[in-house]
Amino acid sequence: MELRYKYRFNFFRFVNEVLLLTVCFILAFYILTRVYHRNFILLNVWMLPLLVIGWYFSSRSTKTSDDLNSKSLTANLYKTANSIFIQACLVILFFFTSHQTYNSKSFLFFYVLFLSILIPLEKLFYKRLMVFLQKKGMNKKRILVIGGGKTGMEFSNIIDGNMHLGYEIIGFLDDEQKPYLNGKYLGTVDKIDEMMESHSVEFDEVVVALPNRAHNKIKHIASVVGRNTVKLRIIPAYHELINSQYNVSIFNGFPMITLRHEPLDEIHLRSIKRVFDIVFSSLVLVLVCSWLFPLIALAIKLSSPGPVFFIQERWGKKNEKIKCFKFRSMKMMSKDVDENSGKYQQAKKNDPRITRVGAFLRKSNLDEFPQFVNVLIGNMSVVGPRPHPTPLNLESKEVIDNYLVRHLVKPGITGWAQVNGFRGETSDPSLMMARVNYDIWYIENWSLLLDVKIIFLTFWKTLVGDKHAF
């Protein structure tokens, strides 16, 4: 899709979703005032612009119109659920700041209910419409693939499995006639010259899926195709290393591909996160910890001998060693490292080292509250990958791929992996791998709204309970 049409299409989709959002708002308003005869004051109409702005920023990352980089309907619905969750948070925030408690729960329920019905239906309708139009041959683009190897076939499978994209592969050029091309073999790579001159086969785009060693052939193809009104795309042979957050830049004439885009590389975004950390941790320390800490300290002292706080060496940003503060939840003289195996002993269910008060503190996450001091000092953040003790880091980095990537940012009191169920013991390498993958996703997709969402989910899981907390 051409860039100008892509922008127009994205604008059309956004306007369409804003109209649906407005309909949901009006329906919720109507039900409260006409059906339940509730008093819904006119001031609340000013909530609508706030919700529209929130929807704009929360839905910008969906990229549903990216051609050749399709997202499944399930992935789009998941991102839609995230946007609806943020809408719910904004409604709660509006009612809280305007000091309203009446009717807020009823409005929130109906508004989120209608959003959860209409927005997914809109996306489902759009996808079905695109498939229908493509089957009718409308706006379909024909692709010639040069290279019938592993990369070319993987690309072909993606196109065949996503008809709504509007692409059709008309054939392959390859120096070997491979039987699995299913009758779509059109000749050797050199035949591209003849096809471009004679126009014997009609196609709109050429996708090159050749290995790096075919550099001269790729250069020749680019020259031939460039002289015609045909779009050329090249799949790099190292495409497996590139994820959806890659970045392309020009460095003194050399194209550079950055495999991992990290928003917090930008100093202004780091500053925003730091200001949020300072404000949030200061409020928690003053409003909550000022009276909660003495109570917890007294309970710890009465339950078992030993200090109130437990200070442990953990790894922070760029593997820097930091002193991580916690309330002591284990008995004195508990061993971190198993004397027989020499491995770090993670806390597990019914761990005999944990005291009765400690079990409650760990279950409710209260043992982590002293880390708000770490946040204020600056070696931790409210949200980020959880910091692990030094022995666990030394063990994990040898067996888990990309383990140290999680140390590109400051560690957090809570994180994306934790709210998705990956907290507690990770003795199984697959569990640690899943935690690392969630942490890397957070690093690559960071936003202030995502941090707020994680804080909300952490609070919610604390209220309803987490089976992995022990």
Q: Which of 14-28, 256-270, 330-344 has the largest mean confidence?
A: 14-28
Which among 170, 168, 211, 172 has a CA at the least distance from the CA of 192? 172
Angle at 362 between CA 361 and CA 368, to 5 degrees: 85
Q: Of the ranges 244-253, 372-381, 410-419, which one carries the lowest mean pLDDT score?
A: 244-253
Tell me the two tokens of residue 306. Answer: 């030993």
For the chain, give the percent of residues with pLDDT over 70.
79
For the chain, give the percent of residues with pLDDT over 90.
17
Task: For residue 180, give the DSSP letter.
Answer: G
Mean pLDDT of 240-252: 66
Mean pLDDT of 4-12: 60
pLDDT at 299 over 50: yes
Mean pLDDT of 116-136: 79
pLDDT at 68 over 50: no
pLDDT at 281 over 90: yes
Q: 270: how many CB neighbours lie within 10 A of its CB?
A: 16
Tell me the two tokens of residue 441. Answer: 């996703």
pLDDT of residue 399: 84
Q: How far apart are CA 262 and CA 241, in angstroms?
A: 16
Tell me the two tokens of residue 243. Answer: 């994820």
pTM above 0.85, yes or no: no
Euclidean distance between the first and the last CA atom of the chain, given in angstroms as a whole number:
51
- Domains of the chain, residue spans: 3-135, 141-241, 265-464
Q: Which CATH class name applies to 141-241?
A: alpha beta
Q: Of the ranges 155-159, 164-168, 366-370, 453-457, which one carries the lowest mean pLDDT score?
A: 164-168
Query: pLDDT class for 70, splitting at 50, 70, 90?
Result: very low
Q: Which of 69-73, 125-129, 248-252 has the largest mean confidence?
A: 125-129
Which among 435, 300, 427 has a CA at the least distance from the CA of 359? 300
Give the amino acid at 86.
Answer: I
Q: How far apart are CA 320 and CA 41, in angstroms?
A: 53
Query: pLDDT class for 92, splitting at 50, 70, 90?
Result: confident
Write down the residue that tokens 């949030």 correspond to.
Answer: 280
pLDDT of residue 245: 63
pLDDT at 136 over 80: no
Query: pLDDT class for 411, splitting at 50, 70, 90?
Result: very high
Q: Which long-range contacts (CB under 8 A, 24 or more apart) does 55-60 make?
A: 55/17, 55/18, 55/21, 55/83, 55/87, 56/14, 57/449, 58/82, 58/83, 58/86, 58/87, 58/449, 59/14, 59/17, 59/83
429-452: b or e for each residue (b if 16 or more CB lie within 10 Å)?
eebbbbbbbbbbebbbebbebbbb
Pairing of strands 141-146, 205-208: parallel
Which among 332, 329, 336 has a CA at the least distance from the CA of 366? 329
Query: pLDDT, tens digit, for every residue of 221-231?
Result: 888 888 877 88
Q: 5: how many CB neighbours lie within 10 A of its CB?
A: 10
Residue 146 exposure: Cα atoms within 13 Å on the Cβ side: 27
- At a CB cut-off of 8 Å and minimum separation 6, what does 105 contact? none
Which among 337, 287, 292 has a CA at the least distance from the CA of 312? 337
Mean pLDDT of 445-450: 88
Burial of 14 (0-12, 13-18, 19+ CB in 10 A): middle
Q: Are 70 and 158 in contact (CB under 8 A)?
A: yes
